[in-house]
Amino acid sequence: MVLNIYYLHTIIFLLVVLFFYRKYVFAQREKYSFRMYKVRDDFVYLVASGEMTETDPVFSHFYKRINSILSMAPSVGIDDILHALFNNSSNFDKSLAKVNKQIERINNSDTVKKEEVKLAIENYYYGVKCMMLSHSSILRIIFILTKRFNPIRMLFEKLIPKTNSISSAYKVTLFAESKAKYWHNKLAN
């Protein structure tokens, strides 16, 4: 009989932990959704203050993607974010290359030389990274482990099929993190 009470307490404890974990995940999703709203507002403010125009390629590129993500937030899935970022394309690598070309064109724009624009772009990439990580526990665990332990990263890259949505989301998260660091460094210089 004593053993059954221990099982009962263990089950109750696990249910309480699961309940609070779900609350935590939902709070994280809302937090990063609101952060993306702030980034969108920052871009609108830049237009309103005359730092850029509505027709500027920088504004068009980021504003469109932010609105696509926010239209589904906070209950957006990983696949939804990938489709929003890559214009509903099913070929991930081709879409990533296309986005990289667009970003290179944007990087050569006079608009991105302004400090406020650099900060808004950095916040966008940081927001994308956080949205990706807050919407998948598996991705978050893989991301943390591969950042800390190189052998796990190599194992992950070999075992997970490249067409898997987690693999694609992992690449986008790394991409967003690298771009956020890039813009952070540009801002510091």
Output the 3-class SS for the chain. Answer: CHHHHHHHHHHHHHHHHHHHHHHHHHHHHHHHHHHHHHHHHHHHHHHHCCCCCCCCHHHHHHHHHHHHHHCCCCCCCHHHHHHHHCCCCCCHHHHHHHHHHHHHHHHCCCHHHCHHHHHHHHHHHHHHHHHHHHCCHHHHHHHHHHHHCHHHHHHHHHHCCCCCHHHHHHHHHHHHHHHHHHHHHHHHC
Confidence bin at 187 (pLDDT 50/70/90): confident
Q: Give the range among 60-64, 121-125, 128-132, 142-146 with minimum mean pLDDT.
A: 142-146
pTM exceeds cut of 0.85: no
How high is the mean pLDDT of the chain? 81
Q: What is the pLDDT of residue 124?
A: 92
Query: Domain residue spans in the chain?
Result: 32-188
Q: What is the pLDDT of residues 41-99, one digit of tens each?
A: 999 999 999 989 999 888 988 998 888 888 876 666 666 666 666 655 556 677 777 77
